[in-house]
């Protein structure tokens, strides 16, 4: 059994492909240094991530795959599933080894598996665009917390930049402890330095502490909750369909699902 050890980045994965062809030795498993190694294996190779390596592999893929297939690779990687690294590795090798594109060959188990993963990640992107709820802070910044199942925030954030280009905002992924901040000019990745029990500071039951909110924010939240309740037709309630369209894991961050809070100012 041959093992490649890499840094578990997409660039590192492409570098592993480069090394495999350079060494003419292909791994049975891709692991990081922190992973548990199998009890028995024949050999291991440490992959050094280098720009020259991953750029050459990516340039090769650009010649053989459509833009849609390239997005499939990069967005499937954001699923963070344990098997996705080896899946993408095999997909890339099959692409390099054939003279024609394999991207629509769904009889191939790897192509089909990646297509299904891509679909799940893309659905998570769509849900982020649907269910992000901002709260206006005292300094005028709009703040939202999310915990997506997959790491879909990087591919959803452009939507918010286009949609809210005239507002300062920060969307924070609490599960992965990073977010994106838009300052009316550029979008930058952001991480809180202060920690409080591994949670974002100043959150109270997944919502911002009232002391940090704009003076009219709680009023607008109450108005939105009232509108949401008024437009709900009791005779047409379908809880099962409601949970399907609006997954329960998003509810704690949705204004319309919160009990109205009294300001603590």
Q: Where are the beta strands (DSSP E) in 89-156?
A: 135-136, 142-146
Whether 133 has a pLDDT exceeding 70, the answer reads yes
For the chain, percent of residues with pLDDT exceeding 90: 65
pTM: 0.84
Long-range contacts of residues 87-93, Cβ cutoff 8 Å, at least 24 apart: 87/113, 87/114, 87/117, 88/13, 88/114, 89/13, 89/16, 89/17, 89/20, 89/27, 89/30, 92/14, 92/17, 92/57, 92/61, 93/17, 93/20, 93/26
The helix/strand/coil state of 181 is strand
Q: In terms of DSSP bridges, do strands 169-173 and 142-146 run parallel, antiparallel, or are they unpaired? A: parallel
Percent of the chain with pLDDT over 70: 92
pLDDT at position 265? 42
pLDDT of residue 232: 86
Q: State the CB neighbour count (10 A cutoff) for residue 92.
A: 23
Cα 58 to chain centroid, rounded = 21
Host H or E run for residue 224: helix 217-230
Phi then psi for 101, rounded to 5 degrees?
Answer: -70, 140
The predicted-structure confidence for 251-261, as pLDDT tens digits, reads as follows 888 888 876 54
In angstroms, the CA 11 to CA 140 distance is 37
Per-residue model confidence as pLDDT tens digits over 82-99: 999 999 999 999 999 998
Confidence (pLDDT) at 263: 42
How far is it, in rounded angstroms, from Cα 189 to Cα 192? 11
| Residue-level pLDDT at 253 | 87
Whether the per-residue pLDDT at 198 is higher than 50: the answer is: no
pLDDT at 212: 83
pLDDT of residue 129: 95
Backbone phi, psi, residue 227, to 5°: -65, -45
Distance CA 165, CA 159 (A): 10
8 A C-beta contact, residue 39 and residue 1 = no
What is the chain's mean pLDDT, rounded? 89
Segment 205-227 mean pLDDT? 84
Read off the pLDDT of each residue in 136-152 and give the average, rounded to a whole number. 93
pLDDT one-digit tens code per residue, 110-131: 999 999 999 999 999 999 999 9
Torsion 207-180-88-94 (CA) sign: positive
More confident residue, 130 or 198: 130
The pLDDT-based confidence of 203 (bands split at 50, 70, 90) is: low
Do the bridges between strand 142-146 and strand 135-136 make them parallel or antiparallel, or are there none, so unpaired? Answer: antiparallel
The full 3-state SS of 182-207, as one line of letters, equals ECCCCEEEECCCCCECCECCCEECCE
Q: What is the mean pLDDT of residues 199-220?
A: 74
- Judge whether residue 170 has pLDDT over 60: yes
- Do the beta carbons of residue 15 and residue 53 sit within 8 Å? yes
- Classify the C-alpha dihedral 31-37-39-41 as positive or negative: positive
């Amino acid at each position: 059994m041959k093992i490649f050890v890499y840094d578990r980045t997409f660039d590192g994965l492409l570098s592993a492909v480069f090394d495999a062809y350079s060494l003419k030795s292909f791994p049975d498993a891709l692991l990081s240094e922190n992973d548990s190694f199998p009890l028995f294996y024949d050999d291991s190779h440490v992959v050094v991530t280098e720009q020259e390596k991953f750029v050459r592999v990516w340039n090769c893929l650009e010649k053989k795959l459509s833009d849609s297939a390239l997005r499939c690779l990069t967005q499937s990687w954001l699923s963070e599933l344990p098997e996705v690294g080896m899946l993408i590795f095999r997909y890339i090798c099959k692409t390099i080894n054939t003279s024609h594109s394999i991207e629509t060959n769904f009889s191939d188990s790897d192509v089909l598996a990646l297509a299904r993963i891509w679909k799940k990640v893309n659905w998570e992107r769509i849900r982020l665009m649907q269910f992000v709820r901002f709260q206006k802070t005292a300094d005028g910044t709009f703040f939202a917390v999310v915990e997506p199942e997959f790491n879909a925030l990087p591919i959803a954030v452009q939507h918010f930049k286009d949609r809210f280009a005239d507002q300062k905002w920060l969307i924070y992924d609490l599960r992965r402890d990073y977010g994106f901040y838009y300052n009316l000019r550029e979008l930058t990745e952001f991480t809180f330095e202060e920690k409080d029990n591994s949670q974002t500071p100043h959150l109270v039951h997944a919502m911002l502490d009232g002391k940090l909110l704009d003076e009219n924010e709680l009023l607008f939240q109450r108005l939105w909750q009232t509108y949401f309740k008024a437009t709900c037709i009791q005779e047409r309630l379908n809880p099962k369909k409601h949970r399907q369209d609006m997954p329960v894991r998003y509810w704690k961050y949705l204004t319309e699902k919160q009990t109205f809070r009294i300001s603590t100012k």
